[in-house]
């Protein structure tokens, strides 16, 4: 079948995510046929380096033999069983492993990030009801936060283009100043700015804690805001403030978890453990949809009761899917056997050295955190991000700038020569559009 036919059929029948479909009149879809390592290959054999890990999910490359093998093995024994009333080895092994890694011993599963956010919000709210503090019903998040797009998650998200249309449907929530260091005052260090933002958080929480259930936060990097990075001291203070005022801290590590920021989880860099951690995206190495919310014994015990209604009566059909859990176990095994966090340090250092090439262009705030590197392009072009996306594609590179922010979040399996290609193709694309 010709590509054109496939594209037409797709436009007829598939409603693509995060897309004004009419834009496809001028921006053709790309029919991907296969993936290999960091490369995606289209129906004409054209290759694209996947510099955004297919929306931040892929960790060890496309068509990864070890993850693929684990799924195939699982496929021969059990594809799925409901998790209410039943259990199975992959979900138990994964929960034990995640407990070791996060310090949080009780894992609840769903299939996507937004559902994990919903679960954490509902659990927090329900915890306070179960512990006779039913007035604690409200949530706070950071300015420019992103926690997913279902109604509850969108309520704590602060991205106008995703949120404003649906405002009448959403829960009220308040947004605290973001410690994004690009917003710091002249001469102010990232840490001083983080502490100043934490003081504002404390002021709000001290006044409203009686009605606050939880503070949800993306630790270290607000990715969807355009890779807004901040000093870990903010997290340390946020943990102290939440503990002092009895407000849950929910760490949304859906994007930053599994090594993206240089440590397995971003919270480790502030030496804190949240009351809830939300995980998804990289958890299966980018193979299958899976998310998890892990929490403390204290929260778990508040639900453990003779009363059914005190239990957490929430479920999704594919909760704890064995295939997805086996992909996650294979992913975690690769971290250990291949010393990924150590290796990533060298790769990140190489990427940072190479990125100096961008400083000849009109850019600001070249920044990095672990395996994420970003900079802001000084341009007034309204269509910069789509022009840059298109120019990069023509160079064989999948880049998806967020506004004026160009970023790299490649699979960890990227080699030095592939990093060279990624940098060179980005330079060419930028020179084409600027
Ligand atoms: C992607 C993302 C989500 C939502 O996950 P989905 O699987 O897209 O629903 C939530 N929080 C953060 C920080 C994310 O990056």
Taking CA atoms, 61 is separated from 55, 66, 71, 273, 300, in Å, by 13, 11, 15, 30, 36
Looking at residue 191, what is its pLDDT? 98
pLDDT tens for residues 143-157?
A: 999 999 999 999 999
Task: Specify the pLDDT at position 2.
Answer: 76
Q: Where are the alpha helices (DSSP H) in 182-269?
A: 190-208, 233-244
Contact 154, 163 (CB under 8 A): yes
Give the rounded percent of residues in the chain with a pLDDT score beyond 70.
100
Which residues is 398 bridged to in the sheet? 50
Given ligand 1 and candidates 114, 226, 278, which is best to mutate, with the most ligand atoms within 8 Å of its CB? 114
In the chain the domains, ranked by start, together with CATH numbers, are: 31-63+339-433 (3.90.1150.10), 67-337 (3.40.640.10)
- The first and second tokens of residue 8, run together, are 């037409």
pLDDT higher than 80, residue 50: yes
Contacts with 346 (C-beta within 8 Å, 6 or more apart), sequence order: none
* 304: pLDDT strictly greater than 90: yes
pLDDT at residue 100 greater than cutoff 90: yes
φ, ψ for residue 90 (rounded to 5)?
A: -60, -40
The answer, yes or no, to whether any atom of ligand 1 lies below 6 A from the CB of 266, is no
Question: Residue 198 belongs to what H/E stretch?
Answer: helix 190-208
Q: Would you say the CB of residue 252 lies under 6 angstroms from ligand 1? A: yes
The pLDDT score that the predictor gives to residue 299 is 98
**Nearest atom within ligand 1 for CA of residue 113:** 5
Q: Is 147 in the pocket of ligand 1 (CB under 6 A)?
A: yes
Q: Name which of 129, 109, 112, 70 is nearest 332 in CA terms.
A: 70
Confidence check: pLDDT of 358 > 80: yes
Q: What is the pLDDT at residue 3? A: 79
Q: How confident is the model at residue 272 (pLDDT cuts 50, 70, 90)?
A: very high
- pLDDT score of 1 more than 70: no
User: How would residue 60 be classed by pLDDT, with cut points 50, 70 and 90?
Assistant: very high
Q: Which is nearest to 62 in space by CA: 47, 84, 81, 78?
A: 47
Assess whether the C-beta atom of 158 lies below 6 angstroms from ligand 1: no
Percentage, residues of the chain above pLDDT 90: 99
Q: What is the pLDDT of residue 4?
A: 82
| 300 CA from centroid of ligand 1 (Å) | 24
């Amino acid at each position: 079948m010709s590509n054109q036919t496939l594209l037409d059929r797709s436009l007829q029948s598939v409603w693509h995510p995060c897309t004004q479909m009419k834009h496809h009149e001028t921006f053709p879809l790309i029919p991907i046929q296969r993936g290999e390592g960091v490369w995606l290959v289209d129906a004409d054999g054209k290759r694209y380096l996947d510099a955004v890990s297919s929306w931040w999910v892929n960790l060890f490359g496309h068509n990864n033999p070890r993850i693929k093998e684990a799924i195939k093995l699982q496929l021969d024994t059990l594809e799925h069983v409901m998790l209410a009333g039943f259990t199975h080895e992959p979900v138990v092994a994964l929960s034990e492993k995640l407990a070791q890694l996060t310090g949080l011993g009780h894992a609840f599963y769903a299939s996507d990030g937004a559902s994990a956010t919903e679960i954490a919000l509902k659990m927090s709210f329900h915890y306070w009801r179960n512990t006779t503090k039913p007035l604690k019903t409200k949530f706070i998040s950071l300015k420019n936060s992103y926690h997913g797009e279902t109604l509850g998650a969108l309520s704590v998200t602060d991205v106008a283009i995703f949120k404003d249309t649906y405002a009448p449907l959403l829960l009220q929530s308040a947004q605290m100043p973001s410690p994004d260091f690009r917003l710091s005052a002249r001469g102010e260090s990232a840490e001083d700015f983080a502490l100043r933002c934490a003081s504002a958080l404390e002021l709000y929480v001290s006044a409203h804690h009686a009605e606050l259930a939880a503070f949800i936060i993306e630790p270290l990097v607000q990715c969807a805001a355009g890779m807004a990075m901040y000093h870990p001291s903010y997290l340390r203070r946020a943990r102290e403030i939440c503990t002092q005022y009895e407000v849950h801290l929910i760490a949304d590590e859906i994007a930053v978890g599994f090594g993206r920021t240089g440590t397995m989880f971003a919270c480790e860099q502030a030496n804190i453990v949240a009351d809830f951690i939300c995980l998804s995206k990289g958890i299966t190495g980018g193979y299958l949809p899976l998310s998890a919310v892990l929490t403390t014994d204290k929260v778990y015990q508040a639900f453990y009761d003779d009363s059914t209604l005190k239990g957490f009566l929430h479920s999704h059909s594919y909760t704890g899917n064995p295939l997805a859990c086996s992909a996650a176990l294979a992913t975690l095994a690769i971290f250990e056997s291949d010393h990924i966090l150590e290796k990533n340090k060298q790769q990140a250092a190489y990427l940072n050295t190479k990125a100096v090439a961008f400083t000849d262009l009109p850019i600001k705030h070249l920044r990095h955190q672990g395996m994420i590197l970003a900079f802001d392009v000084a341009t007034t072009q309204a269509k910069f991000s789509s022009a840059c996306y298109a120019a990069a594609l023509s160079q064989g590179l999948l880049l998806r700038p967020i506004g004026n922010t160009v970023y790299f979040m490649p699979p960890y399996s990227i080699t030095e020569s592939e990093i060279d290609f990624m940098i060179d193709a980005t330079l060419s694309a930028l020179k084409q559009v600027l």
